[in-house]
Amino acid sequence: MMHVHRSICLELHRLIDRILHVILAIESARPNCMLAVQALCSLNFTLAEAKSIIKHCSKCSKLYLAITSHKILSRCQKVRNAFELYLVQIQNAVPIPLAGKISAILHDLRGTEFSLEFAEDEARKVLLSLLEKNFPDSASVQKEELEAIQIATSRLEIKSPFSLLVEKATLKKQLEEVSEENLKQKELLQYLLYLLVKHGKSNCQFQNGSHSPKHECHDQSLEHELVVDESSQ
C-alpha cells in the first residue's frame, strides 16, 4: 500500500537519526557557551517538530495529504533550516572531533531537498484544479468530480473497496479531531469525504477497469483510430 509523502518521511527519519546520534555527544561535551546551550534546547524542539510531521503523515487521509502537500513541504524546509542554524551555533562550542561530525551533518543538510513523488503531485494538481473550477451546471460538476476523484485515487493507490473504506474512516476521524475554529480544514475534509461517498461505487468500477477518465484513455483511443485507419488503407 502506498504511503503518501513516504520519501519525505524517510528523509526526515534519516536526518532525525543522524542528529539524535550527535546530540548525545553534544550533551556529553557540556558546551559552556550560552548560545550553544540554547541552540541545543532548540535542536530538541526541532526534532520534536520533525517527528510530528512524520506522525501527521501517518495518520492523515491520503487525499488530504496530497492536496495540502505544500504545507508539508514548507514545514520540512523550516525544519531543515532550523537544524542547520542550531548545529552551526553549537559547532564552535564543542571539541574538534565532534565539530567535524557536525560539519558532516551540515553538509548533508545543505544537500537535502524535500519534494513530492510524481503520483502525489499529479493527485495534488487534479484535486486543486477541481477546487478552483467554476462549473456552469450540476452535470458538469458531477462529471468533473468523478474524473478528478478517479485520477486522484488511482495515483494514490486507493483502488480496492478496502482501501476506500480506510480512506473514508481516516477522513471521518480527522473530522472528529479538527477544531470548530478551523473552518477551512473542516470544509476541505467534508468535501473530500463527500466525493468518496458520492463517487465511491463508480470509482471502484473504474479501478477494476469498467470505466476510465477521458484523458487517460485518450491515447488508447487514438492508437485504436490509427490502427483502424492503417488497416483500411
Last-in-domain residue among 77, 110, 143: 110
- In angstroms, the Cα distances linking 135 to 5, 62, 193, 198 are 31, 25, 20, 18
Q: Where are the beta strands (DSSP E) in 62-201?
A: none
**Residue 129 counted as domain residue:** yes
End-to-end CA distance of the chain: 47
Q: Among residues 140, 131, 221, which one has the least CA distance to residue 184? A: 131
> What cell numbers appear for 8 in the block?
519525505
Last-in-domain residue among 86, 110, 134: 110
**Residue 69 counted as domain residue:** yes
* Spatial contact of 136 and 175, defined as CB atoms under 8 Å apart: no
**Residue 141 counted as domain residue:** yes
Task: Report pLDDT for 134.
Answer: 74
User: What SS3 state is found at 93?
Assistant: coil
Same domain, 147 and 102: no
Q: Which residues of 62-82 are buried (b: 16+ CB within 10 A; e: fewer)?
A: bbbbbbbbeebbebbeebbeb
* Spatial contact of 195 and 149, defined as CB atoms under 8 Å apart: yes
Task: Report pLDDT for 208.
Answer: 56
Same domain, 94 and 132: no
Question: How many CB atoms neighbour CB 6 within 10 A?
Answer: 12
Task: Report pLDDT for 117.
Answer: 93
* Spatial contact of 47 and 15, defined as CB atoms under 8 Å apart: no
Q: Give the domain extent around 42.
A: 6-110
Q: What is the pLDDT along the chain (233 residues), one digit of tens a residue?
A: 557 899 999 999 999 999 999 999 999 988 888 999 999 999 999 999 999 999 999 999 999 999 999 999 999 999 999 999 999 999 989 999 999 999 999 999 999 999 999 999 999 999 999 998 877 677 778 889 899 999 999 999 998 889 999 999 999 999 999 988 899 999 999 999 999 998 876 655 555 554 444 443 333 333 333 333 433 43
Task: Report pLDDT for 222.
Answer: 32
- For cell 477544531, what's the residue? 179
Q: If 0-12 CB within 10 Å is exposed, 13-18 middle and 19+ buried, where does residue 226 land?
A: exposed
Task: Report pLDDT for 180.
Answer: 85
**Residue 138 counted as domain residue:** yes
CA atoms within 13 A on the CB side of 25: 18
Last-in-domain residue among 64, 85, 110: 110
**Residue 226 counted as domain residue:** no
* Spatial contact of 211 and 147, defined as CB atoms under 8 Å apart: no
